[in-house]
Amino acid sequence: MTIALIPSIAMASGQELCIGHRVEVGRDGRMLGHLPYGQANQPELVTMPSRFSLGTPCRLRPEAAADLSRMLTDATSAGLGGQIKAISCYRTVARQRSVFCGQIGPGKRCKNPAERARYVGPPGYSEHATGYALDFGARPSGGCVDLEACFANTRAGRWLLTHASNYGFELSFPAGNAQGVTWEPWHWRWVGTSPTAPGAGPARAIFARARTAYPARPMQVDAPAITAPEMPAAVPPSEAPLPR
């Protein structure tokens, strides 16, 4: 697995993030509450079936895609066939800049980067760049606009909150998170079902700081290791009691 570093994103203090807006990187390396993430090597990503995506094709790391496919199959068996959709999966840093900066300014959703960062990670500080994170949507939506808190009340949202952790996914930004990011019941990252699951090691290394300092909830909980029952020590033949 390769995660490319983006030197231009490791910005100097006060460098321009969006046109007309300068933002400083904190002493802890965070920007506006978000942790830095490198960009995945695109040729290493795989594309999910087109019927799963509502917009652009959903590309993910192979290991994340495998567990996602398994989860969608089980969701179908549970009566949610076709209801869980992908809004956005992997994004390049350049795409993230467009998403982040495109809604800042007069007549836009946010007035400044600090306000925008409550809803979207700045370029170079988004989990989407890793290839392990995605935003889910629901169809039918039940009147819920995509990427809003009401997603948690849809059938798809409720099922994910109950079951997604069984497939190695965890909710990155729970309600009241210390990063100051709005509750995002639609945004999940993959870390594997256990530390030894294929691909889990690199994913957990990337999200180690986030998982420690800003725990997900629901968080992927590893199943306890199964150990063999303790057997009584064998008694050497010379010390074995005589039969009665």
| Structural contact between residues 216 and 174, judged by C-beta atoms closer than 8 angstroms | yes
Whether residue 235 is contained in a domain is answered as no
Q: What is the largest CA-CA distance in the chain?
A: 96
pLDDT in tens, 66-102: 999 999 999 999 999 999 999 999 999 999 999 999 9
Domain assignment of residue 200, yes or no: yes
Asked whether residue 240 is domain-assigned, the answer is: no
Q: Using an 8 Å Cβ cutoff, are 52 and 60 in contact?
A: no
Reported in sequence order, the residue ranges of the chain that DSSP labels E, i.e. its strands, are: 3-4, 16-18, 21-22, 39-40, 46-47, 59-60, 84-88, 133-138, 169-171, 187-190
CATH of the domain at 43: 3.30.1380.10
At 241, the pLDDT band (50, 70, 90 cuts) reads very low
**Total number of domains in the chain:** 1
The answer, yes or no, to whether residue 225 has pLDDT greater than 60, is no
Residues 6+ apart with CB under 8 A from 105: 20, 111
Q: What is the reported pLDDT for 218?
A: 84
Q: Please tell me the predicted confidence (pLDDT) of residue 219.
A: 83
Nearest alpha carbon to residue 120 among 221, 17, 212, 34: 34
Residue whose entry in the numeric block shows the structure tokens 């390769």? 2
Residue 13 has a pLDDT of 53
Question: Is residue 232 included in any domain, yes or no?
Answer: no
Q: What is the mean pLDDT of residues 139-143?
A: 96
Q: Is residue 74, in this structure, part of any structural domain at all?
A: yes
Residue 69 included in any domain: yes
Q: What is the pLDDT of residue 220?
A: 77
Cα(205)–Cα(191) distance, integer angstroms:
9
Residue 236 lies in a domain: no
Q: How far apart are CA 129 and CA 121, in angstroms?
A: 10
What's the pLDDT tens digit per position in 146-169? 999 999 999 999 999 999 999 999
pLDDT more than 70, % of the chain: 85
State the residue range of the domain holding 38.
3-223
Give the Å distances, CA to CA, from 101 to 13, 19, 77, 90, 238: 18, 8, 40, 18, 81
93 lies in some domain: yes
pLDDT for 197 equals: 97
